[in-house]
Amino acid sequence: MIGSALVERLSKLGANVLVIDNLSRGKLENIQVNGQLLPNVTFVNADLSKEGVARKYIKDQEIVCALAAIVGGILELKSKPAYIGYINGLIDQYTLKAVQENEIPHIMFASSACVYGVDKPAPYREEDAGGQYDSIYGRTKHYSEFLTRAYAEQHGIKATILRFFNVFSERDHFSLQSHVISALAYKALHKMNPFIVWGSGEQTRSFVYTDDVIDGILLAVEKIHYGDPVNLGTSERVKIKDLAFKILEMTGYQPKEILFDKNMPEGAHDRCASDEKAKKLLGWKPKFTFEEGLRRTIEHYKKLVEK
């Protein structure tokens, strides 16, 4: 979702872009037009969790944007913690080693709001990371932040670390096993009844549209080179129950029953970002309101269902 949007933006800016992905979740058509790769884009189908793959392909680049990871909805994070932690750790370590061995001068590491413990009050400031993680995903991401800074310090590499907060857009994986917006939209557009929302619905999230995240990435790689992490998210809280009702409104679906299933995991009760550092250091502020981004996403998913 984020990677393909970044590739598209870089292509439009005239950059030469090498994409490495095993397509376990992404789709090649996200970086194609009429069946052809975007201008100046090269694609390699390879698995970065395999030793030697990153070293083989990451060469002669000005910057590596490390966006590869095993991700998924909260149930997948809870049901496969060992697998997710192990594979993501391998991807990050092999990527950093390849950057160092191939003398790439700059790496941007995509971290996550999951580095903030559920025992910390929101909005999260960058110095609040750590504590009681709600998943191995967050713990692994936080470890890889430290590792990125260590490589940068020891080998003189520029490092940019960004923590993404609940990024969404029409590029997300549209299924029941996806992130909350895509999963709820899938249920609404497929007219599922009862319409089930995981958790109490009282949990909050801070959503940010993918295009705004890409703006933040481009600003950050120009301005931050010393591994100081920066949030890309907002302090705007959205309750999951309000999100569910908004999606039902936008899709025009009125289920006979709406069920909040408290037996299903709901993650951190309250998660939103302090955006003061991003404003100060980057001059970053989202251009899309939450509702504008959500409407774009829903309209795209409608077309997928209608096909």
d(CA 21, CA 109): 16
Mean pLDDT of the chain: 94
The residue that leads in pLDDT, 246 or 120, is 246
- In percent, the amount of the chain with pLDDT more than 90 equals 86
Token code pair at residue 103: 């003398």
**Who contacts 74 (Cβ-Cβ below 8 Å, separation ≥6)?**
135, 198, 265, 266, 267
Burial 281-297 (b: 16+ CB within 10 A, else e): ebebebebebeebbebb
Environment class of residue 245 by beta-carbon count within 10 Å: exposed (0-12), middle (13-18) or buried (19+)? middle
Rounded to 5 degrees, φ, ψ at 282 are -110, -20
Residue 9 has a pLDDT of 98
Q: Are the C-beta atoms of 63 and 104 separated by less than 8 Å?
A: yes
224: nearest Cα among 123, 304, 109: 109
Residue 93 has a pLDDT of 98
Residue 73 has a pLDDT of 62
Residue 34 has a pLDDT of 94
- CA distances (Å), 204 to each of 119, 177, 243, 262, in order? 15, 19, 9, 15
Superfamily (CATH H level) for 2-306: NAD(P)-binding Rossmann-like Domain (3.40.50.720)
Cis, bond preceding 255 (omega within 30 deg of 0): no
Alpha-carbon torsion 299, 177, 246, 271, what sign?
A: negative
pLDDT tier at 75, thresholds 50, 70, 90: low
The SS3 call for residue 42 is strand
d(CA 8, CA 169): 14
Residue 78 has a pLDDT of 72
Of 7-11, 107-111, 198-202, which gets the smallest average pLDDT?
198-202
Residue 265 has a pLDDT of 81
Token code pair at residue 3: 């990677």
**pTM of structure:** 0.94
Hey, which residues does 110 pair with through a beta bridge?
Answer: 162
Residue 162 has a pLDDT of 98
